[in-house]
A and B are shown apart, each in its own frame.
Chain A
C-alpha cells in the first residue's frame, strides 16, 4: 500500500507543518473532500454524467450534482445535504 499520491486535478491540498503532504479530491455529489490513497482498499466511485470522482459512500452513487442538491435544499425540497 502506498501513501497519498499527487493528483493531476486536485481540488485541495493538505499542508502539515508547512509541507504539502497530500492532495484532496472533492466528491461531485456531496462536496466532501477525501485523500485518495492507491491500494488503501477504500471504495471510491466515478460519475460518468459529471465526469468526476465520488467519495464512494452509497448515498453518492446516484448521479445528483452537489449544486443541484444545494438548490433543492435551499428551496426546502430536500431535507439534508
Chain B
C-alpha cells in the first residue's frame, strides 16, 4: 500500500470543516495518522474536534496530496481544505472525538487494521471538523492515509 499526506488550515469555529480527504472510486482510503494543532498566538482556549464522514465534499480549496515515498505515483484520493460550502455531512458519524487546549498539539495514530476507512464511493469524505471553540484561532490539521 502507498502512503500519502495532506494538510489544511482554517479558523476554528462551530461545525467548520478544516480538512477533507475525499474518496476515489477505485480504492478505499485508510487514515492512519492525524495531527491537529494551532499556529496562532498561544492562548488557553478549549476546543472540540471530530473526525466525521460526509457524502458530498462541497466547495473548498484543493490540496495536492504528497506521497510519503517520492517514488510513488500521485494519490488516487484527493483533499480539500479551508472554508467549505455546499457540503453534506453524515449525521452522528463521529469517528473520533477530540477535546483540545489551543496550546496543545494532538496526534492520533492507528494500530495496524485500526485505520479509519473511506469507502470507494464518489465524493465521500472523512475530515477534521471544528465542533466548538472558545475563540477563532487558526487550526492546522494533517492527515496521513494508505491507499
Contact = CB atoms under 8 A, between A and B. Distances in A.
Nearest to B55: A80
A73 B28 CA distance: 12
Interface string B83-98: 0000000101111110
A57 to B, nearest CB: 8
A59 B93 CA distance: 11
Contacts of B120: 74
A1 interface: no
A14 interface: yes
Contact of A14 (B28, B55, B107): B107
B119 interface: yes
B109 A15 contact: yes
Contacts, number: 67
A24 B119 contact: no
Interface string A8-21: 00111111111000
A50 B129 CA distance: 30
B110 interface: yes
Interface residues of B, number: 27
A32 interface: yes
Interface in A27-81: 30-34, 57, 59, 66, 70, 73-74, 80-81
A33 B28 contact: no
Q: Which 5 A-B pairs have the closest CB atoms?
A: A11-B114, A15-B107, A32-B95, A33-B96, A12-B110
The residue in B55, B90, B113, B119 that gathers the most chain A C-beta atoms within 10 A of its C-beta is: B119
